[in-house]
Amino acid sequence: MADLSEQATHRIIGAYGEPFLRYVFALPEDKPVLEALQSTRAEYVVLLQTAIDQTPYSGNGDVDFTFTASSSFAYYRKELGGSLANYLHRMAGGDAKKIPSGKDPVVQAIREVAHDVWPSLLLTPPKHGPRAFWMSTTAGIFSHPKAVEACKTFMADSELKALFPNTPSIEEATSINEVILQIQANWILSSGQGGSKQLISIIDAIIFNAAVHAQLDGSPLNERGLMSAIPSSVEAFRTLATMKPVEVPAIIGFSGLRIEDDTVLKFGDDELRGVRPVEKNLLLNEADRVSSVFTTNFPIQLLKVSAFNPSEPDDFIKVWNKYSARIQESHRTLQRRIDRARLSILLASTDEELLATSEVSRYIADPTQPGGLSNWQMDPRTPASYALKAGQDKEVLRFHALIQEKHPESLDIAMKRILGAVSQRWDATDAFIDAVVVWENAFGTSTETTFRVTGSIAKLLEPGSSDERAKLQKELKNLYETRSRLVHGAKEPKPEEAWTQRERAIQIALEVLRKLYVERPDLLELSSELRSAQLLLEG
């Protein structure tokens, strides 16, 4: 039995994580890990402690330990008949899972490798930085004898071999040697990623991508789920090899909106919901600030494949520039989808509790990249966070349907500026200016701007009373002229006054957008200038 202090036990649990320890020691789900470690054979616990103590330090302890633990427990050891993680699992009485049968030789060869290395994917990811990237490289692949067969079957596949043109034969290879490591090519993808890709890294990527997909529904990672996901992961690369797009999950982490329980808002194929374990623990960086997620798809397409030629780097850059417009459009399309979801949430909120979502983190499950594609905001400031209240879900869906059907490109600036004003502009004057730009985008003209904009808004918001309309127009005119003076160098107002102006300008902007989408969609089809003219000429 292990004679561990409580401090040492907590140290082991904190370093490795409960999922990894439960697997290695074959612990039942209902038994606390803290208690179970005390009854584990001492020599096995010493292995865990030694890996922690002998971790080299390069400045990032979490990352250093991840690589050390992965190397120690996923490395193939002939004398153990596989990885150390699986050996410990068997010694603890765990079942030795059989590899599922199948007809696809590529899938089966990769499953042979995944069977030994997958437990390393249960390790606790580093707390900061690109966590999925740190977890995506499993050292055991390079040492595994079946990895050679996986590479051979990959290159023997009639479709997959197109991913690595003009490369030497590896039919005679017996280990992951220089010949296999030379199997690489230059890729350019619609995600904007590109450069040299090695065959062995793609085998690794297929396993990690399958592990991600096995957990996206909220399920914990296990060998059965991973093995079931490998065929679709391989098929994604076959599709890429034909130069056709593959739709992959895009997960956007929001702050500013809390979705609790099992609430899921469906926007067609897209969803707005709470945060799932794999997103919080692995995929979304800065996850402590994420309180809800928006999920959609992103098309990954291989735009160009060419033989690897390190002597001509300038040629690759020229080719990449050729595709830059297509790459930018792919990301613009995704951003519009995200912005429309955020706008529908904002319009469904009240003035007292603005559901002002801010994008904290983004993950695209690009199977070609180590760990996928991750972006995140380092600014710890976030909007006030409010829970989605009863009935607001229906309002969000209603506004989203209206925006999807009615939103014109001419209001894209208004959409982006109002989202920025409520969630990204920490200076009240900046937010005020952005909110007034929304007015201008909706009703602006090249001449007579002040009257056309303020008069149109007053007519839209107060159609039934000329007195109220005149009163509102006067207020709007004062705010509009204040904005004009500010952008032309006037002294900024005191903080209290700036905040009041910000709040009122945002309130008006939201009222304008709600009114246009709900009551006056006929105006959306018009340009800003014609929109204002139509309103002012109405009786």
**Whether the Cβ atoms of residue 168 and residue 174 lie closer than 8 Å to each other:** no
Alpha-helical (H) ranges within 444-527 are: 449-461, 466-487, 495-518, 521-524
Q: What is the pLDDT of residue 51?
A: 80
Q: In what order do the strands lie in the sheet with 373-376?
A: 264-267, 270-273, 292-300, 246-255, 358-364, 373-376
Give me 114's structure tokens: 């995944």
Q: Which amino acid is at 510?
A: L
Question: Can you give the three-state secondary structure of 367-383, one letter per residue?
Answer: CCCCCCEEEECCCCCCC
Residue 470 lies in a domain: yes
Place of tokens 């032309």: 488
Residue 64 lies in a domain: yes
CA atoms within 13 A on the CB side of 316: 18
Give me 294's structure tokens: 């928006």
**Whether the Cβ atoms of residue 356 and residue 384 lie closer than 8 Å to each other:** yes
Residue 482 lies in a domain: yes
Last residue within a domain, chosen from 65, 96, 127: 96
Residue 337 lies in a domain: no
pLDDT tens string 224-282:
999 999 999 999 999 999 999 999 999 999 999 999 878 999 999 999 999 999 999 99
Query: What stretches of 28-96 adopt beta strand conformation (E)?
Result: 76-77, 82-83
Residue 37 lies in a domain: yes
Residue 135 lies in a domain: no
Please, what's the b/e burial string for 194-232 (b: 16 or more CB within 10 A of its CB; e: otherwise)? Answer: beebbbbbbbbbbbbbbbbbbbbeeeebbbebbbebbbe
- 317, with CB counted inside 10 A (0-12, 13-18, 19+), is exposed
Residue 86 lies in a domain: yes
**Mean pLDDT to the nearest integer, 515-539:** 92
**Whether the Cβ atoms of residue 228 and residue 216 lie closer than 8 Å to each other:** no
Residue 480: domain span: 407-537
Last residue within a domain, chosen from 96, 126, 154: 96
pLDDT tens string 63-112:
888 888 888 889 899 999 999 999 999 988 898 889 999 999 999 999 99
Name the strand (E) or helix (H) holding 264: strand 264-267
Task: Quote the DSSP letter at residue 282.
Answer: I
User: Beta 76-77 vs 82-83: how paired, if at all?
Assistant: antiparallel
pLDDT tens string 354-378:
999 999 999 999 999 989 999 988 7
272-281 contact pairs (CB < 8 A, 24+):
272/341, 272/345, 272/396, 276/215, 276/216, 276/217, 276/218, 277/215, 277/218, 277/220, 278/212, 278/215, 278/216, 278/218, 278/221, 279/251, 279/253, 279/363, 281/124, 281/125
pTM for the full model? 0.91
Residue 532 lies in a domain: yes
Q: What is the pLDDT of residue 68?
A: 83
Task: Quote the DSSP letter at residue 125.
Answer: P
524: number of Cβ within 10 Å = 17
Phi, psi of 454 (to 5 degrees): -70, -35
Last residue within a domain, chosen from 96, 114, 143: 96
**Mean pLDDT to the nearest integer, 431-439:** 95
Alpha-helical (H) ranges within 75-198 are: 84-91, 105-117, 131-135, 140-143, 146-156, 178-181
**Whether the Cβ atoms of residue 347 and residue 399 lie closer than 8 Å to each other:** yes
Q: What is the pLDDT of residue 172?
A: 86
Q: What is the pLDDT of residue 319?
A: 81
Give me 375's structure tokens: 């972006």
Looking at the structure of the chain, the number of domains it has is 2
